[in-house]
Amino acid sequence: MSQKPIVIIGSGLAGYTVAREFRKFDMETPVLILSADHGGFYSKPMLSNAFATGNTPASLLINSAKEMAVKIKATIRPHSRVTSIDSSSRTLELQDGEKLDYDKLVLALGANQIRLPLDGDGTKEILYVNNLDDYHHFRGALIKKKEIAILGAGLIGCEFANDLAVAGYHVHVIDISSHPLGRLLPQAGGFFLQQKLEAAGVIFHMNTTTRRVEKLGEKLQLAFSNGQTIEVDILLSAVGLAPSISLAKATGIKVNRGISVNQVLQTSSEDVYALGDCAEVNGKVLPFVMPIMHAARALASTLANNLTQAHYPAMPVLVKTPACPTVVAPPNSSATGEWHLKETQDSLKGLFQNKENDLLGYALLGEATKEKTLLTKMLPPVMK
Ligand SMILES: Cc1cc2nc3c(=O)[nH]c(=O)nc-3n(C[C@H](O)[C@H](O)[C@H](O)COP(=O)(O)OP(=O)(O)OC[C@H]3O[C@@H](n4cnc5c(N)ncnc54)[C@H](O)[C@@H]3O)c2cc1C
């Protein structure tokens, strides 16, 4: 009887990195990667700075699924959505009813865009960008258009705003919080970033939400809760991502905000593992590149029968807003302390310290980003 494969569901950074790392330990065990999309490998973070880096949707694709299959000696099946998992018989089912066996299963399912419940006949026109296909569609929609509104002044909203402003679009950003990057930056840092993006042409509508989106001929009219209205050509929603948990939940695998896993990335079901944007590792949902790289290395070793815990060092996030270079290492949500801020015309440095003056987090904007390497060394690890 032929050997059952390790099956990885998902061909994003998490799925491909764990496969690649596994091959460093084991060249023989069959690996099957199932993907709901085209299965090509691309750098998702580059979607929000493609104009600034001179990239097109086509140039963002690094390797096709076929090329990846050769590179990592795996079978890759694009456009193969998994609809159910039976962990007792170690089988899973695809959209067309085909059943497949697995020996070990890795869930690398990513996250889904949060969709705000808005009123109006224009809501069908709202665009979302969370993968290369979405971005291809978005770039097509931008042709001959000028006025863009972005819902959400978080990391992805601000990055798109900067990128589109650089490319000559008129960009509006709308957010309920008082300042951009509300969940990552102290208020003064958010205001500093906002000023620099405003100088680059971005118009912010803060402390308000969009209530209705109506079609007005070729235009979309947005009505805000503060009574203001604006008209734009394109509306992009970037209000956040929710880990993809429905498949795991339907299987009976424990989920919370993400698919719950312990420090060896193991779910509540034996031989089913999860990592990347879909996973909640020891209570932490960290939808960024660096945690995926650390988790993938540990999981690859575990899949090769060397049980290995994932450890996260301090992992600052680089915000790709060239109008205001920004690096932030947010303090752990349970950390107690306060922000100490120093601001000049060209820089803002925020240090989050406890009573003993230990550095627990930082926010560096503008010139202050030069201190990133030194300060990162002083931070505690995110997960020991
Ligand atoms: C615009 C943008 C900019 C970003 N910038 C940064 C940045 O600067 N720095 C940073 O650290 N992070 C950034 N991120 C976050 C980072 O890109 C993600 O954390 C990372 O790419 C997630 O990888 P993943 O493999 O977990 O998920 P994904 O890349 O979403 O992959 C999920 C895969 O699962 C597949 N799938 C899902 N359900 C099924 C199913 N039922 N059956 C089969 N296949 C399925 C999908 O088709 C896909 O292949 C950014 C994200 C975005 C959207």
pLDDT tens-digit readout, 4-25: 999 999 999 999 999 999 999 9
DSSP 284: B
pLDDT computed for residue 187 by the predictor = 96
Closest Cα to atom 35, ligand 1: which residue? 10
Identify the pLDDT of residue 59.
97
Count other C-beta atoms under 10 Å from residue 258's C-beta. Answer: 25
CA of 217 to the centre of ligand 1 (A): 35
Q: What pLDDT, in 10s, does the model give residues 331-345?
A: 988 889 999 999 999
Torsion angles phi and psi, residue 212, rounded to 5: -130, 150
203, β-bridge pairs: 172
Mean of pLDDT over the chain: 97
Here the tokens at position 239 are 């209000």
Whose alpha carbon is nearest atom 48 of ligand 1? Answer: 10
User: From atom 50 of ligand 1, which residue's Cα is the shortest distance away?
Assistant: 45
Q: Which two tokens stand for residue 119?
A: 């009123």
Instruction: Give the per-residue pLDDT at 318.
Output: 96
Q: What is the DSSP letter of 296?
A: H
Each residue of 349-376: b (16+ CB within 10 Å) or e? Answer: bbbbbeeeeebbbbbbbbebbeebeebb
Q: Using a 6 Å CB cutoff, which residues line ligand 1?
A: 9-15, 34-37, 44-45, 47-48, 81-82, 108-110, 129-130, 156, 244, 247, 276-277, 287-290, 292, 317, 320
pLDDT at 24: 98
Average of per-residue pLDDT across 120-133? 97
pLDDT in tens, 281-334: 999 999 999 999 999 999 999 999 999 999 999 999 999 999 999 999 999 888
pTM of the model: 0.97
Output the pLDDT for position 333: 83
**How would you label 195-227 residue by residue, b for 16+ Cβ within 10 Å and e otherwise?**
ebbeebbbebbbeeebbbbbeeeeebbbbbeee
pLDDT digits (tens, 9 = 90+) for 223-257: 999 999 999 999 999 999 999 999 999 999 999 99
Residue-range domains of the chain with CATH: 6-112+242-303 (3.50.50.60), 115-237 (3.50.50.60), 325-378 (3.30.390.120)
Which residues share a beta bridge with 79? none
Average pLDDT over residues 59-73: 98
Of ligand 1's listed atoms, the one at least distance from the Cα of 276 is: 26
Look at residue 1 in the predicted model and tell me its pLDDT: 54
